[in-house]
Amino acid sequence: MEATTKARHEALGLSREQLLEMYYYMLLTRRIDERLWLLQRGGKIPFVISPQGAEAAQIGAAFAFRRKHDWFTPYYRDLGINLVAGVTPREIMLGAFARGADPASGGKQMPSHWGNRPLNVVSGSSPVTTQLLHAVGIAQAARMRGDDIVAYTCCGEGSSNQGDFHEALNWAGVHKLPVIFMVQNNEYAISVPLDRQVAGGSVAARGKGYGMPGIEVDGTDLLAVYAAFKTAHERARSGQGPSLIEAKCVRITSHSSDDDQRRYRSSEEIEAIKAKDPILKARAYLYEHGILDEAQEKELEARVMAEVDDATDYAESQPYAVPEQTLRHVYKED
């Protein structure tokens, strides 16, 4: 085949710099998460829940949105989404250490319960899937106000069976609201595998039933995800309505630090999915297209690790909120 065909990223309108930036975020997501596991295993923080295996899906999706403009109601694995939206590694670490300065909740919530007002990242909770309805409401209100925004929301394939998922898609479909529903399907809802979770086998297939395109995409392929989201984002902005994108990812770690997946997954299986690591895939692409070489990679790694170290040290040194903070912000305070 002649080399006159454009590289995939170029066809999507992405420059080398943008692609490198996407890879940087994938790496940052991964390295932060690895550090969090280390801290948890070392007894420094009580809880971690990981996006390992979903970096391509998250970064690819996030880059289709407008930072500080569009709205996000992410789910607990969406560390990558948050970073691209503008949340800093320091802020992530403050949440992990439950410090008073954590912008999401000042330590009131468990880690990975995101929230950042200036960046339009809405505060999230633990009962899954509730955030999908919030995204619909946000899109609804924005339309009432005449504002051009797109709402991002996400959940796992397990949550796609929760009532709120169906109510949210249906509502968005009826009103053709500018919402993009992402489902990161990593094939395990804690220990329950896909074939016991999703009747019919496909989450994307549900889109049709709710009046929107349901797109299945390889969640380990950064550019495939980006392409799908770019299309969905344009669709939303042009008034054509919502989209459902099912990104098939891999879950490299256990569900969380309170889970041990070796109880229900064979070691062969776990090794096999490590081979599908999206970071490896993206790296290979960058090398293939001469966008990254060993020296640059080393420099990139060093830069990322410096940020991770800085964030860790900073957050650990910060104080907890005073215990009486427990009583604050029940109702509006004068």
Partner 1 sequence: MAVLNLVEAVRETLRAEMRRDRDVWVVGEDVGKKGGVFGATLGLFDEFGPERVQDSPLTESAIVGVGIGAALYGTKPVCEIQFADFIFPAFNQIISEAAKMRYRSNGAWTVPMVIRAPFGGGVHGGLYHSQSVEQYFTNTAGLKVVVPSTPYDAKGLLAAAIRDPDPVLFFEHKGLYRAVKGEVPETDYIIPIGKADLKRDGSDITVITYGKTVHFCLEAANQLAREGYEALVLDLRTLLPLDREAIVAAAKKTGKVLIVHEAGKTHGIGAEVSAIIAEECLFDLDAPVQRLCGPDVPAMPYAGPMEKFFMLSPEKCLEAMRTLAKF
Which residues are known catalytic residues?
251, 255, 264
User: Cβ atoms within 10 A of the Cβ of 86, count?
Assistant: 14
Find the binder of partner 1 among 111, 115, 219, 242 (CB under 8 A): 115
Which of 52, 39, 99, 1 has the alpha carbon at shortest distance from 320? 99
Residue 211: CB minimum distance to partner 1, A: 11
Stretch that binds partner 1, among 8-16, 38-46, 133-141, 311-319 (CB under 8 A): 133-141
Which of 177, 232, 206 has the alpha carbon at shortest distance from 65? 232
C-alpha span between 204 and 219 (Å, rounded): 13
Stretch that binds partner 1, among 104-112, 240-248, 265-273, 300-308 (CB under 8 A): 104-112
Find the binder of partner 1 among 32, 59, 136, 203 (CB under 8 A): 136
C-alpha 158: how far from its chain's center? 16
209 counts as binding partner 1 under rule CB under 8 A: no
Question: What residues numbered 27-86 form the site for partner 1, per CB under 8 A?
Answer: 71, 73
| Token code pair at residue 32 | 């932060």
Size of the site for partner 1 (CB under 8 A): 47
C-alpha span between 63 and 255 (Å, rounded): 25
C-alpha span between 69 and 252 (Å, rounded): 32
Which of 245, 183, 175 has the alpha carbon at shortest distance from 213? 245
Contacts of 283 (CB under 8 A, 6+ apart): 23, 292, 297
Residue 215: CB minimum distance to partner 1, A: 23
| Token code pair at residue 8 | 């995939």
The residue (of 125 and 296) whose beta carbon lies closer to partner 1 is 125
The residue (of 151 and 223) whose beta carbon lies closer to partner 1 is 151
The residue (of 80 and 103) whose beta carbon lies closer to partner 1 is 103
Stretch that binds partner 1, among 143-151, 192-200, 221-229, 290-298 (CB under 8 A): 143-151
| Token code pair at residue 22 | 């996407």
Find the binder of partner 1 among 139, 180, 182, 228 (CB under 8 A): 139
| Token code pair at residue 53 | 């295996």
Residue 231: CB minimum distance to partner 1, A: 24
Chain positions contacting partner 1, by CB under 8 A? 71, 73, 103-106, 108-109, 113, 115-117, 122-123, 125-127, 130, 132-145, 151, 163-164, 167-168, 170-171, 174, 325, 328-333
